Structure 1
Amino acid sequence: MPETPLSVAVIGAGYWGPNLARNFNAGPDWQLAAICDLDTDKATRLARSVGAVPVTGSVQELLQNPDLDAVAIATPARTHHGLATAALAAGKHVLVEKPLADSLARGEQMVAQAEAAGLVLMADHTYCYTPAVLKIRELVATGELGEILFIDSVRINLGLIQPDVDVFWDLAPHDLAILDFVLPGGLRPVRVSAHGSDPLGAGTSCVGHLVLELDTGAMAHIHVNWLSPTKIRQLVIGGSRRTLVWDDLNPQQRLSVYDRGVDLSRTARETGEEERSQSNVSYRLGDTWSPALPEHEALSAMVTEFAAAIRSRRPALTSGTAGVRVLSVLEAATHSQVSGAPVTLRPTLELESAS
């Protein structure tokens, strides 16, 4: 027998809310119960597009509904904490668009509250549910790439300059969430360095470079930019066996795996610096192949995972804890920009300036 659909309301009818509402309304796991927004006219227009579901301008009124199982929050980051904690206090499961909160401390508090209440808190890290990223996760997990040596990510375009966040908090959450999803054990850098630039005098960084020193010894670099006239969405993961390139804007060949690289013999690696400089370096020039990818909408897979996590009483693939790991790097990036120095991340997620 099919399971009874879960009841969900979308809070926020702006940019992302309509995408969530459409997917909740289309899937068999969910019944879209309401649209909530202070702008009830905007909420009404959205509600009509998905079957004339009820509309309310009051979050308090919404959360008093005993038949409501969950809420999806698609509002500005500064409101995520207040809305999520109110929903959790009302016994509702919560999905929050990126970033999970506007500070690490608030994100950690949200996770602790959800765990104490036995509720699912899920981060809407949509890219993690794309066929390409799911395949990357599989290739890394099965060892196809070997040991990860470096990661380079570029996310640039002519974008909207945000009044309340810099380019790191606006764009980098996508890349950080992807790395957290595909790396075994999640994203756990030991040090973070961030360099931002404000060439327009907008009062916030519009161009940024983020460098993460991972606990494996690998280095990850993320370039984000609101000012580029060309749009690039590319991720390169270099491994000891193979290198993977994801070009999100190339629908014909999103993923390419290169059996090419540089090999240094074990003997050379174990010698001293002087001998190593004279050791033989070999270049591997093998085949290139493109994995076949299924076709499905990432958001559809994401809302399906939200329902599965609730029914199975388990953390979602992109859990609140994953959202906190992303927040820890974003907050470290802010500290690094202010101090002009790298920031060390402790296992407890506390931050301190690196010496």
Structure 2
Amino acid sequence: MSSFAFSEAVRIGHVGVGRWGLNLLRNTAALPGAEVVAVCDRRDPALAAAARLAPGARAVRDVDALLADAAVEAVVVAVETPLHYEVALAALEAGKHVFVEKPLAQTAAEAERLVREARERGLRLMVGHLLRYHPAFRHVERLAADGALGEIRYVHSMRVNLGVVRDRENAFDSLAPHDLAVAQALLPGRPVAVAAQGQAFLQPGVEDVVFATVTYEGGQIAHLHCSWLDPHKVRRTTVVGSEKMATVDDMEPAEKVRVYDKGIDPSAEAGYASFAGALTVRSGDIVVPRIAPAEPLRLEVEEFVASVREGRPALTDGDDGLAVVRVLEAARRSLAEGGARVEIP
């Protein structure tokens, strides 16, 4: 733990207040346990919008000026993905606790450096794996942890839409971190290999659609479909267990989670000529649990502030972010090799 003496409210500096950065700022500025003391962006309109959310914060255009401010205890990094590593490393080297939007970095080597730097300096490092704070996903995660779904066999996620098209990261790098973070929370063991196929239709070298299968130590798999070139907006995850199955559909306005008492069981009767004949399909009730609504982003920034104040790792700490980056990096290699299976170190 850092030896830095904290005030009652954690004093935060925000680096990057674009569209998503403003969402983060809106939630951070509203937290009772946090005080936004500085905001950094190179664009005047962004700083003007930030001033309306955090009127008492000092506005700067140079990130070094924010990091040199002794009043800043922790930093929220919401810049473009290629800059995550550079800004986060500078913040850690300046002795600040760091929250980084997903992904933690673009390469495993960069992510490992950030994790190591935070550990050696006794600082908190957290990554914005937002779905881990979504009440619907938290509910399914608890069901899995309690054994209510049985042994989790596979996870299937579909995250598609028409836009936003990016030019510095492909659809998998942009969209998959959400679902990879959920999969690694639900599936036992670590991911050991990935095979990914995709195609770049709009821009050379930037895949607009990707289908990927991640294999885990126990033989479980996670299958991901990511695209920004699709007529539908779908945000759906299916979790298949040996006892029950669950779906999370984030596009549903109210009934986001459904739990299915469905499965295939060995028959108690003897005398079947084949293994398939000795199995029975079970189709029971469908339960729609009542889940109290809460804004995931608010819960996420609350966790960051709490981890800083309490001197403990966050739910989605640097190691969690590193594990996702390793899969992303292996998936890029697989895409380049035409879908070949690539081992994850």
Alignment deviations for residues 61-99 of structure 1 (CA, whole Å, 9 cap, x no partner): 111111211000000111111111111111100000011
| AA of the residue aligned to 1:319 | D
> 1:240/1:278 Cα in 2 relative to 1: closer, same or farther (>3 Å)?
closer
* Aligned counterpart in structure 2 of residue 43 of structure 1, from 44, 47, 54: 47
Check conservation: 1:140, 1:183, Cα contact below 8 A: no
> 1:210/1:266 Cα in 2 relative to 1: closer, same or farther (>3 Å)?
farther
* Aligned counterpart in structure 2 of residue 306 of structure 1, from 304, 307, 324: 304
Aligned to 2:173: 169
Aligned to 2:131: 127
Q: Partner of 2:157: helix, strand, or coil?
A: strand
How far, CA to CA, are the matches of 2:100 and 2:313 in structure 1? 14
| AA of the residue aligned to 1:227 | L
Aligned to 2:316: 318
Q: How do 1:252-267 and structure 2 match up within 5 A?
A: 252-264=254-266
> 1:52/1:66 Cα in 2 relative to 1: closer, same or farther (>3 Å)?
closer
CA-atom RMSD in angstroms: 1.9
> 1:206/1:308 Cα in 2 relative to 1: closer, same or farther (>3 Å)?
same
Alignment deviations for residues 229-264 of structure 1 (CA, whole Å, 9 cap, x no partner): 111111000000000011111122100000012224
TM-score, length basis structure 2: 0.93
Q: Kindly indicate whether residue 5 of structure 2 is the aligned counterpart of residue 7 of structure 1.
A: no
Aligned to 2:65: 61
Q: How do 1:226-265 and structure 2 match up within 5 A?
A: 226-264=228-266
Q: Partner of 2:144: helix, strand, or coil?
A: helix
Check conservation: 1:103, 1:327, Cα contact below 8 A: yes
| Structure 1 residue 267, shift from structure 2 partner | 11
| Structure 1 residue 53, shift from structure 2 partner | 2.2
| AA of the residue aligned to 1:40 | D
Aligned to 1:331: 329
Q: How do 1:93-172 and structure 2 match up within 5 A?
A: 93-172=97-176
Check conservation: 1:40, 1:55, Cα contact below 8 A: no
| AA of the residue aligned to 1:27 | L
| Structure 1 residue 176, shift from structure 2 partner | 0.8
| AA of the residue aligned to 1:33 | V
Percent of aligned pairs sharing the same letter: 39
How far, CA to CA, are the matches of 2:191 and 2:113 in structure 1? 21
| Structure 1 residue 13, shift from structure 2 partner | 1.4
Alignment deviations for residues 181-237 of structure 1 (CA, whole Å, 9 cap, x no partner): 33456xx21211000112345432111101011112112100011111111111000
Check conservation: 2:37, 2:71, Cα contact below 8 A: no
| Structure 1 residue 160, shift from structure 2 partner | 2.0
* Aligned counterpart in structure 1 of residue 96 of structure 2, from 87, 92, 99: 92
Check conservation: 1:261, 1:285, Cα contact below 8 A: yes
Alignment deviations for residues 286-335 of structure 1 (CA, whole Å, 9 cap, x no partner): 11101111121111111111111112211100001111110011001001
Q: Partner of 1:230: helix, strand, or coil?
A: strand
> 1:82/1:296 Cα in 2 relative to 1: closer, same or farther (>3 Å)?
same
| Structure 1 residue 336, shift from structure 2 partner | 0.7
How far, CA to CA, are the matches of 1:266 and 1:313 in structure 2? 53
Ranges in structure 2 where 5+ consecutive residues have no aligned partner? 1-6
How far, CA to CA, are the matches of 1:339 and 1:4 in structure 2? 52
Alignment deviations for residues 10-53 of structure 1 (CA, whole Å, 9 cap, x no partner): 10011211011111110111001111012234213321233252
How far, CA to CA, are the matches of 2:294 and 2:336 in structure 1? 42
Q: Kindly indicate whether residue 219 of structure 2 is the aligned counterpart of residue 221 of structure 1.
A: no
| Structure 1 residue 122, shift from structure 2 partner | 0.2
How far, CA to CA, are the matches of 2:276 and 2:49 in structure 1? 70
| Structure 1 residue 276, shift from structure 2 partner | 5.2
How far, CA to CA, are the matches of 1:267 and 1:203 in structure 2? 57
| Equivalences, count | 337
Check conservation: 1:141, 1:184, Cα contact below 8 A: no
Aligned to 1:344: 343
Check conservation: 1:13, 1:42, Cα contact below 8 A: yes
How far, CA to CA, are the matches of 1:87 and 1:40 in structure 2? 23
> 1:101/1:267 Cα in 2 relative to 1: closer, same or farther (>3 Å)?
farther
